[in-house]
């Protein structure tokens, strides 16, 4: 009986009039949603593809294909609603540890779908969305990278919306990269060379025996270091796997600012770590150009962030965990997330003026 009902339902919904009616209803719902506030930046942790495949006795890779279809549907809903940036976790660095055939399947899927997505007139072009690939580029093999670069180049003229594809990504790798490039930027202003008190000059003198090391101040390079240029202990390679120009200050290192405060180096402008703020790091994070993350959605019932958007989740990011598996995720699920987000926005807007009034009142009472 249940089988007959579900078959009948499928027949109706998949018939041309059924499809037309469903599309009309979707448009109506999206139109209604657009009447309220809309998150500017939404991230999806698309979880549950393999469980979806297993429960339907499909190949794992087929589960990922269905996952991509869900992504295309959700992306369209987002852009139609007015979301500016959609960020998706398409491949974690940890995913390289999955069986070879699955990793290969995901690479092929990325290649085929990115070509498709960025073909002129397809979904991204329709909504004026450009593609950006966020993650550890050096871990992507050449044939995939080529397709990704082409996708980015083909859509770079689109300036209404963004699709951030995190591939291969983890937040810790993103933050490490951001810190590394912050340090590189921080050390890059080149001071006047060979001034009598420049660190390199002092180093030269020590090496040539003209100065003993007793009064040696903590050394800060006065010019960007080349790999292997410096053998001292105060600048160290921060990553065992990657020695490409990375420099970290190990725990217990003397604070570089002491140097600049002491003024020992004359007119040399030495980096001051006090100048590194949240905003400095933010500028080096992959999503630096994007609006703050308003909404984070993870499917499949797992309630963890799993190294995704750890920096971007701030005090006003609303995090939603949904039980449904990603390939099943559609407007019927997303609408509740959006409605709840809109409701929470209204609540916090309502609280804000009274909160402010309360503070002002408290202040006037104290005065
Ligand atoms: C081009 C492009 C953007 C492609 C995206 C395709 C896509 C949906 C990728 C997601 C891959 C992935 C590791 C999902 C997590 O589910 P899981 O495999 O961990 O499933 P499980 O939780 O059931 O084990």
Asked whether residue 88 is domain-assigned, the answer is yes
Tell me: pLDDT of 275 over 50: yes
| Rounded Cα distance, 79 and 161, in Å | 7
Beta bridge partners of 132: 164
Predicted confidence (pLDDT) per residue in 194-251, tens digit = 444 544 444 444 444 444 443 333 334 434 433 333 233 332 333 333 333 333 333 3
Of the residues 44, 45, 50, 73, which should be mutated to test ligand 1's pocket, given the most ligand atoms within 8 Å of the CB? 50
Asked whether residue 105 is domain-assigned, the answer is yes
Asked whether residue 87 is domain-assigned, the answer is yes
**Apex 324 CA angle, 41 and 336, nearest 5:** 50
Buried b (16+ CB within 10 A) or exposed e, 26-35: beebbeebee
Q: Which domain holds residue 66?
A: 38-187+279-339
Average pLDDT, the chain: 80
Nearest CA to ligand 1 atom 6: 68
Tell me: pLDDT of 53 over 60: yes
Residue 56 CA, ligand 1 centroid: distance in Å: 16
User: Which residues have CB under 8 Å from 31's CB, separation 6+?
Assistant: none
Asked whether residue 208 is domain-assigned, the answer is no
Longest dimension (CA), the chain: 96
What is the per-residue pLDDT for 10?
78
Predicted confidence (pLDDT) per residue in 147-183, tens digit = 999 999 999 999 999 999 999 999 999 999 999 999 9
Nearest CA to ligand 1 atom 14: 47
Nearest CA to ligand 1 atom 24: 50
Confidence class of residue 362 from pLDDT cuts 50, 70 and 90? Answer: very low
Residue 101 belongs to a domain with what CATH number? 3.40.1180.10
Of the residues 53, 74, 90, which should be mutated to test ligand 1's pocket, given the most ligand atoms within 8 Å of the CB? 90
Asked whether residue 60 is domain-assigned, the answer is yes
Residue 49 CA, ligand 1 centroid: distance in Å: 6
Atom of ligand 1 nearest to the CA of 167: 3
What's the number of domains the chain is made of? 1
Which range among 54-58, 138-142, 210-214, 234-238 shows the weakest confidence by mean pLDDT? 234-238
Alpha-carbon Rg for the chain in angstroms: 27
Asked whether residue 284 is domain-assigned, the answer is yes
Kindly list the protein residues whose Cβ atom lies closer than 6 A to any atom of ligand 1.
46-51, 64, 67-68, 71, 88, 90, 95, 109-110, 113-114, 165, 300
Asked whether residue 194 is domain-assigned, the answer is no
Q: Are 81 and 70 in contact (CB under 8 A)?
A: no
Residue 107 CA, ligand 1 centroid: distance in Å: 11
Asked whether residue 213 is domain-assigned, the answer is no
């Amino acid at each position: 009986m249940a089988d007959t009902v579900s078959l009948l339902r499928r027949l109706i919904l998949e018939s041309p009039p059924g499809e037309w009616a469903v599309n009309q209803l979707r448009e109506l719902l999206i139109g209604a949603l657009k009447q309220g506030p809309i998150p500017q930046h939404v991230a999806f942790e698309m979880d549950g593809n393999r469980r979806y495949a297993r429960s339907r006795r499909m190949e794992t890779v087929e589960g990922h294909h269905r996952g991509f279809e869900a992504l295309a549907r959700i992306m369209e809903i987002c852009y139609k609603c007015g979301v500016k940036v959609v960020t998706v976790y398409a491949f974690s660095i940890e995913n390289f540890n999955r069986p070879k055939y699955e990793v290969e399947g995901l690479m092929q899927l990325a290649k085929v779908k990115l070509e498709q997505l960025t073909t002129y007139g397809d979904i991204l072009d329709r909504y004026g969305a450009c593609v950006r690939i966020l993650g550890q580029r050096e871990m992507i093999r050449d044939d995939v990278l080529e397709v990704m670069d082409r996708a980015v180049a083909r859509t770079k003229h689109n300036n209404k919306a963004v699709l951030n594809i995190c591939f291969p990504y983890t937040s810790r790798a993103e933050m490490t990269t951001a810190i590394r490039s912050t340090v590189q930027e921080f050390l890059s202003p080149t001071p006047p060379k060979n001034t009598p008190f420049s660190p390199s000059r002092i180093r030269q003198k020590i090496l040539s025996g003209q100065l003993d090391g007793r009064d040696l101040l903590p050394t800060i390079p006065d010019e960007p270091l080349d790999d292997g240029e410096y053998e001292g202990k105060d600048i160290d390679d921060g990553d065992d796997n990657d020695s490409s120009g990375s420099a970290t200050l190990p725990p217990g290192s003397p604070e570089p600012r002491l140097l600049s405060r002491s003024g020992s180096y004359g007119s040399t402008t030495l980096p001051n770590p006090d100048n590194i703020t949240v905003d400095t790091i933010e500028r080096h994070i992959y999503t630096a150009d994007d609006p703050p993350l308003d909404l984070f959605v993870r499917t499949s019932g797992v309630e963890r962030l799993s190294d995704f958007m750890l920096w971007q989740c701030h005090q006003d990011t609303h995090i939603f965990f949904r039980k449904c598996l990603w390939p099943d995720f559609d407007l019927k699920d997303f609408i509740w997330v959006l409605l709840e987000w809109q409701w929470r926005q209204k609540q916090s807007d309502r609280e804000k003026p009274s909160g402010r009034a309360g503070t002002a009142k408290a202040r006037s009472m104290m005065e």
